[in-house]
């Protein structure tokens, strides 16, 4: 009798697992996890991303969901801190039981989360605000990279475009101001590599710690070189502090920075002092509705919404995930999602293409150069 009950219990348990299917996938819903900064100096970036993804998921759900399932988002605040990102990822996978991850933020946080958590757990992540080369290795180079699908160009792509522009203007005295973490170091390496192609090296290099605006030492170091241009691989708070103190020191070099700075928030921080700063971008210009994906993004925001580069990038990330899930079919598993993503070769989202394969995790090499004009307008 006891043996029969044990066998019955085992059978029911097995059937329950079989009925439940893949973790995070229910009969009527799919659970997606997100870790990004919703507080602290970088909170404005994560909140913008979360708002867009929430609105897009609502739009998808209102039209029947993905293969009949509603999308649910579990978003946790990591404050742009690596340890919190790792902890959040463990919580999302082990406790919240999410099916997949979406829209992470930062090179060091994402790299640690990939190598310590979601890569080992074989849970795919679509999109992160990072251009670090370490996140773009093929799965053969690092098996954990199999589970990360980037949708943006690398920092090497961005810095090469910036350096080529500066060299074309005849500059030969170019300094670098970078954030002392994975993001900043990756950007610094990109600038050094791009300058080397032109037979140059940085005339000065200085750094600032993450989530800090203590830039006095950096201003002094770079100021001594009297650079013609400075490439700033920093986020908006530190960038703004550096720009102000450079001007106070009587320095007026051409200033260039990378896409993670966030053009709109940099303008809010610096006002007219932002005028003339060049910014490399990795997404389509979000204020021009001639591009189909931009038009779709603007329609999602509605008349009261404010387009931004971070917003459209979050939209692109979410679109990639949803389109891959649809192609994976009703019998959804993580492995089928990965196969579907790898099948997105030169995939057109509407004027913006992503390219994945079994060995390709770069996603895109699109880079556009912009400049902040009068009134804080971002100009192409």
CATH number for the domain harbouring residue 115: 3.40.50.2300
Which of 281, 302, 335 finishes a domain? Answer: 281
| Closest by Cα among 45, 185, 204, 178 to 111 | 185
Counting every residue written for the chain, the total comes to: 380
Listed as ranges, residues in the chain with pLDDT below 50 are: 3-20
Say yes or no: 220 and 303 in one domain: no
Is residue 108 included in any domain, yes or no?
yes
- Residue 258 lies inside a defined structural domain of this protein: yes
pLDDT at 229: 98
Q: Which of 281, 309, 342 is the last residue of a domain?
A: 281
Residue 276 lies in a domain: yes
Do residues 40 and 80 touch, judged by C-beta distance below 8 A?
A: yes
Dihedrals φ, ψ of 172, to 5°? Answer: -130, 0
Asked if 239 and 181 touch (Cβ cutoff 8 Å), the reply is: no
Same domain, 332 and 260: no
The verdict on 127 and 60 lying in the same domain is yes
Contact residues for 20 (Cβ-Cβ < 8 A; gap 6+): 26
User: Are 93 and 238 in the same domain?
Assistant: no
Final residue belonging to a domain, choices 281, 316, 342: 281
Q: Which residue has the tokens 């739009």?
A: 59
pLDDT at 15: 37
Are 69 and 1 a contacting pair, CB within 8 Å?
no
- Regarding whether 134 and 266 lie in a shared domain, the answer is no
380: in domain:
no
pLDDT value of position 135: 96
Q: Does 36 reside within a domain?
A: yes
Whether 174 is in a domain gets the answer: yes
Predicted local confidence at residue 18, as pLDDT? 36
Instruction: Give the list of residues 6+ apart from residue 135 with CB closer than 8 angstroms, or none.
Output: 107, 110, 111, 114, 128, 145, 148, 150, 361
Domain containing 168 equals 155-281
**pLDDT one-digit tens code per residue, 153-171:** 999 999 999 999 999 999 9
pTM above 0.95, yes or no: no
Same domain, 60 and 196: no
Q: Return the HEC string of the chain.
A: CHHHHHHHHHHHHHHHHHHHCCCCECCCEEEEEEEECCCCCCHHHHHHHHHHHHHHHHHHHHCCCECCEEEEEEEEECCCCHHHHHHHHHHHHHHCCCCEEEEEECHHHHHHHHHHHHHHHCCCEEEEECCCHHHCCCCCCCHHHHHEECCCCCHHHHHHHHHHHHHHCCCCCEEEEEECCHHHHHHHHHHHHHHHCCCCCCCCEEEECCCCCCCHHHHHHHHCCCCCEEEEECCHHHHHHHHHHHHHCCCCCEEEECHHHCHHHHHHHHHHHHCCCEEEECCCCCCCCCCHHHHHHHHHHCCCCCCCHHHHHHHHHHHHHHHHHHHHCCCCCHHHHHHHHHCCCCEECCCCEEECCCCCCCECCCCEEEEECHHHCEEC
Q: Specify whether 119 is located in the same domain as 217.
A: no
Would 185 be classed as within a structural domain?
A: yes
pLDDT tens readout for residues 362-379: 999 999 999 999 998 999
Structural domain contains residue 361: no
- Confirm if 68 and 28 have CB atoms less than 8 A apart: yes
pLDDT in tens, 8-67: 444 334 333 333 479 999 999 999 999 999 999 999 999 999 999 999 999 999 999 999
> 22 with 334: CB under 8 angstroms?
yes
Strand partners, 36: 77
Closest CA to 105 of 123, 124, 87, 79: 79
The tally of domains found in the chain comes to 2
Q: Are 55 and 298 in contact (CB under 8 A)?
A: no
Do both 112 and 165 map to the same domain? no
Evaluated on CA atoms 325, 327, 332, 338, the torsion sign reads negative
Do 135 and 182 lie in one domain? The reply is no
Same domain, yes or no, for 236 and 333?
no
- Report the candidate in 147, 150, 151 with the shortest Cα–Cα distance to residue 334: 147
Instruction: Tell me the torsion sign for CA atoms 246, 252, 253, 256.
Output: positive
């Amino acid at each position: 009798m006891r043996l029969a009950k044990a066998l019955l219990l085992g059978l029911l348990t097995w059937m329950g697992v079989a009925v439940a299917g893949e973790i995070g996938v229910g009969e009527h819903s799919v659970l997606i996890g997100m870790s990004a900064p919703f507080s602290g100096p970088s909170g404005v970036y994560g909140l913008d991303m979360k708002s867009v993804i929430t609105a897009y998921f609502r739009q998808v759900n209102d039209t029947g969901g993905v293969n009949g399932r509603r999308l649910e988002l579990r978003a946790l605040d990591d404050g742009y801190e690596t340890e919190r990102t790792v902890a959040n990822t463990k919580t999302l996978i082990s406790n919240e039981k999410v099916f997949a991850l979406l829209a992470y933020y930062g090179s060091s946080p994402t790299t640690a989360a990939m190598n310590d958590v979601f890569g080992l757990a074989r849970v795919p992540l679509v999109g992160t605000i990072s251009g670090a080369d370490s996140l773009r290795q093929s799965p053969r180079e690092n098996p954990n990279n199999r589970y990360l699908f980037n949708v943006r160009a690398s920092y090497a792509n961005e810095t090469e475009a910036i350096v080529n522009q500066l060299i074309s203007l005849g500059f030969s005295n170019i300094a670098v101001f970078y954030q002392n973490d994975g993001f900043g170091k990756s950007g610094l390496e990109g600038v050094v590599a791009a300058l080397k192609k032109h037979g140059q090296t940085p005339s000065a290099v200085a750094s600032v710690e993450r989530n800090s605006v203590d830039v006095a030492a950096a201003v002094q170091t770079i100021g001594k070189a009297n650079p013609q241009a400075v490439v700033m691989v920093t986020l908006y708070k530190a960038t703004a502090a550096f720009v102000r103190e450079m001007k106070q020191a009587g320095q007026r070099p051409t200033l260039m920075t990378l896409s993670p700075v966030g053009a709109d928030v940099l303008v809010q921080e610096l006002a007219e002092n932002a005028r003339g700063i060049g910014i490399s971008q990795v997404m389509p210009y979000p204020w021009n509705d001639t591009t189909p994906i931009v038009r779709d993004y603007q329609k999602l925001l509605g008349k009261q919404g404010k387009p931004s580069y971070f917003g459209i990038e979050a939209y692109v990330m979410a679109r990639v995930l949803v389109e891959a899930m649809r192609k994976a079919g009703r019998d959804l598993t993580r492995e089928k999602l990965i196969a579907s993503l790898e099948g997105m070769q030169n995939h057109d989202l509407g004027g913006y293409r992503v390219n994945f394969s079994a060995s390709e995790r770069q996603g895109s090499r699109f880079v556009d150069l912009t400049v902040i004009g009068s009134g804080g307008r971002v100009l192409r």
